[in-house]
């Protein structure tokens, strides 16, 4: 699956949907994959599942023949992140991430480490940077983190740093997507959590839109979680998300 589909031009609506496997049981994760794979293009394995089942569990998910985004948000000194990125990319995941606030040297170390694994027969894992968590509001970023500039400016600056460091894209809320797209161009992937179908609750997110609105703004991929995984019928919920996005986009070439 290509990232930065504005450059590739081949992603379907289904390809754009990433389902968050935010569960602690491998059995639950595999059940969700089997129920939703017709409507989902990639699966996100985050801290809860990875810390419960480790690399063997991660490989068990990938053995279902699906692409995985490993969402561990690496943030440490450059050498540590470099070594961790190399280990994680070698598992065969399609994508992994680091925190942009780790700085240019750290991000470059991750990108270089993953790039060094690429050969003629191996898929190159994409490395993307986390900008500002979608659970944070402007007030929290200012009063608690001491960042005075507007969130959209902060996120866009971090995205530009990620591009400069050689990352393949960033994770950002729907509210900053259009600014990132304008600043970083069409070949730079934007993965967008903080999306909720109109029929789902906002939960603990702050900067949210619907999945279709995020894609219209310039997102390449949208991450959907509880609206599907906590539904009594995940198969139907995932299909509904896909149908809703297709209806919302209509004839738009997004």
What is the set of active-site residues? 73
Judge residue 146's burial from the number of C-beta atoms within 10 Å of its C-beta, 0-12 exposed, 13-18 middle, 19 or more buried: exposed
b/e per residue 148-162 (b: at least 16 CB within 10 A): eeebbebbbebbbbb
Q: Are 75 and 99 in contact (CB under 8 A)?
A: yes
Phi and psi dihedrals of 213, rounded to 5?
-65, -40
d(CA 250, CA 124): 33
d(CA 43, CA 106): 26
| Largest CA-CA distance found in the chain, in angstroms, rounded | 49
Q: Are 132 and 154 in contact (CB under 8 A)?
A: yes
d(CA 113, CA 183): 26
Judge residue 171's burial from the number of C-beta atoms within 10 Å of its C-beta, 0-12 exposed, 13-18 middle, 19 or more buried: buried
Give 221's strand partners: 191
Quote the tokens at residue 31. Answer: 């059940």
């Amino acid at each position: 699956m290509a990232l930065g589909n504005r450059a590739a031009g081949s992603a379907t609506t289904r390809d754009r949907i990433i389902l968050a496997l935010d569960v602690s049981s491998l059995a639950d994760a595999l059940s969700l994959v089997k129920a939703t794979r017709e409507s989902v293009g990639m699966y996100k394995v985050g801290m809860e599942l990875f810390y419960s089942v480790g690399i063997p569990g991660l490989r068990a998910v990938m053995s279902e023949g699906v692409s995985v985004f490993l969402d561990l948000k690496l943030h440490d000194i450059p050498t540590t992140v470099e070594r961790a990125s190399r280990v994680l990319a070698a598992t065969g995941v399609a994508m992994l991430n680091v925190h942009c606030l780790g700085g240019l040297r750290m991000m470059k170390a991750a990108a270089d480490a993953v790039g060094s694994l690429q050969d003629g027969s191996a898929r190159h894992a994409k490395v993307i940077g986390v900008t500002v968590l979608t659970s944070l509001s402007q007030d929290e970023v200012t009063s608690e983190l001491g960042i005075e500039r507007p969130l959209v400016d902060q996120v866009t600056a971090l995205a530009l740093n990620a591009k400069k460091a050689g990352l393949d894209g960033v994770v950002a809320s729907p509210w900053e997507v259009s600014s990132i797209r304008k600043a970083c161009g069409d070949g730079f992937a934007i993965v967008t959590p903080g999306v909720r179908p109109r029929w789902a609750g906002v939960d603990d997110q702050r900067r949210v839109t619907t999945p279709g609105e995020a894609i219209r703004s310039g997102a390449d991929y949208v991450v959907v979680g509880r609206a599907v995984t906590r539904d009594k019928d995940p198969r139907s919920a995932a299909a509904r998300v896909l149908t809703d996005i297709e209806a919302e986009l209509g004839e738009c070439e997004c």
